[in-house]
Amino acid sequence: MSTIKAGSCLCGHVRYEIDMAGSRTGNCHCRDCQKNGGGPFMTFTTPKPGKFKWIVEPEGRAQASDFAMRRFCTHCGTPMTWEHLSKDDMAVSTGTLDDPSGVEIIYEIYTKSRWPVIPPMPGVDQFRESNGWE
């Protein structure tokens, strides 16, 4: 069974492929993600190095901190990635997968900023701040 999945922005201009084998998916409740995504959290998938490739790369780039950059589609505004500036570490917005079936959320980070009406996911690792993988 193939572990390759495809994804795109809302308008379809930006496209990518990701090999999900060995990837980690989780919810980030930090204030940056809440503001960037316009909701209580964002769900990201972090692929193993070399397991992600752009078919059509997003033109939009934004930097709201000293350690990370976010990429987005300049045509429709879809948030695509979170990328560390000094490490080979990136995460793609899981909601941009064409078919997210079978993706398992294994952690939640920055739960100190979790909205009070959003309960922790049962059976999922909870981290008040970073999970230590970043």
Tell me how far apart the alpha carbons of residues 107 and 18 are, in angstroms, rounded to a whole number: 19
**Residues 71-98: tens digit of each pLDDT:** 999 999 999 999 999 888 899 999 999 9
Q: Is residue 13 part of a domain?
A: yes
**Residues 3-24: tens digit of each pLDDT:** 999 999 999 999 999 999 999 9
90-93 vs 79-84, strand pairing mode: antiparallel
Identify the CATH number of the domain in which residue 59 sits.
2.170.150.70
Q: Is residue 86 part of a domain?
A: yes
**Residues 41-81: tens digit of each pLDDT:** 999 999 999 999 999 999 999 998 888 999 999 999 999 99
Q: How many CB atoms lie within 10 A of CB 32?
A: 16
Q: How many CB atoms lie within 10 A of CB 106?
A: 15
Distance of CA 30 to the CA centre of its chain: 12
Q: Is residue 133 part of a domain?
A: no
Q: How far from 114 is each of 9, 28, 30, 75, 118, CA to CA, in Å?
A: 26, 9, 7, 30, 7
- Under 8 Å between Cβ of 14 and 53: no
Q: Which pTM does this prediction carry?
A: 0.92
Q: Is residue 121 part of a domain?
A: yes
Q: Is residue 131 part of a domain?
A: no
Q: Is residue 70 part of a domain?
A: yes
Q: Closest Cα partner for 94 from 30, 42, 133?
A: 42
Number of structural domains (the chain) is: 1
Q: Is residue 55 part of a domain?
A: yes
Q: Is residue 104 part of a domain?
A: yes
Enclosing domain of residue 84? 4-126
Q: Closest Cα partner for 64 from 96, 14, 30?
A: 30
